[in-house]
Amino acid sequence: MSTRENLEKVRAAIAAAEAEAARKSGAVRLVAVSKTKPADEITPVIEAGQRVFGENRVQEAQSKWPALMAETADIELHLIGPLQSNKTADAVALFDVIQTVDREKIAREIAREIKKQDKHPRLYVQVNTGSEPQKAGIEPDEASSFLKLCRDELGLMISGLMCIPPVEENPGPHFALLAKIARENDIDTLSMGMSDDFETAIAFGATEVRVGSAIFGTR
């Protein structure tokens, strides 16, 4: 199947999951994850009308997206991978959304770059819902205090939360936990769900799903 057909299938599955969960049609945005895919595989997806894309590495995004963005005005680019501090300036310059604010040091550097560049990407905090030692993200029981630090001390507008559940676990409880932390902290954007579990995530209140391989094929 072509990426264009895959995209149509994913869109239809999102619409069906919205209906199934009695959510409004269009309540869930699709972030097409184009990491590792070359520009010539991304172009057909843009031509099919997709405008929101996710990349997990700053450098790779810098090499692909400025040219694609010059051709299509209303692309929205999300950083969904861990941010290294030496890449913060580049990330603030390039991305419309940074989904992976995951520690105080990075939050402070983002705040400094936002001032310096007068650029205002939307910011989400990544929560390590499974408390996995190897995974980035704020521990669930520290999320509220971290959000307070970002908002009150650093003046950052945090509009969303994102999580990546442990691969071997039922994702439902992780999605429910992220939704609970969002409710407690007045956050309305929930970035959760990938190719294998986006329908479940929609049932638990996802407002954005990050789908890569179901659109672009295996990496």
Ligand X SMILES: *Cc1c(COP(=O)(O)O)cnc(C)c1O
The residues binding ligand X (CB under 6 A) are 33, 35, 56, 80-81, 164, 194-196, 210-214
Whichever of 86 and 218 has its CB closer to ligand X, that residue is 218
Q: Please tell me what DSSP assigns to residue 17.
A: H
Whichever of 123 and 164 has its CB closer to ligand X, that residue is 164
CB 74 → ligand X: shortest distance, Å?
22
Place of tokens 């902290």: 185
Angstrom distance (rounded) from CA 7 to CA 2: 9
CB 194 → ligand X: shortest distance, Å?
4
Whichever of 156 and 162 has its CB closer to ligand X, that residue is 162
Which of these, 199, 204, 217, 219, lies nearest to 30 by C-alpha position?
199
Return the bridge partners of 123, or none.
Answer: 98, 158
Q: In this chain, which residue has its C-beta nearest to ligand X?
A: 212
Whichever of 159 and 195 has its CB closer to ligand X, that residue is 195
Q: Which pairs from 8-14 meet CB under 8 Å and 24+ separation?
A: 8/48, 9/214, 10/198, 10/211, 10/214, 10/215, 13/198, 13/199, 14/198, 14/202, 14/209
CB 7 → ligand X: shortest distance, Å?
13
Whichever of 150 and 214 has its CB closer to ligand X, that residue is 214
CB 6 → ligand X: shortest distance, Å?
11
CB 126 → ligand X: shortest distance, Å?
8
Q: Please tell me what DSSP assigns to residue 179.
A: H
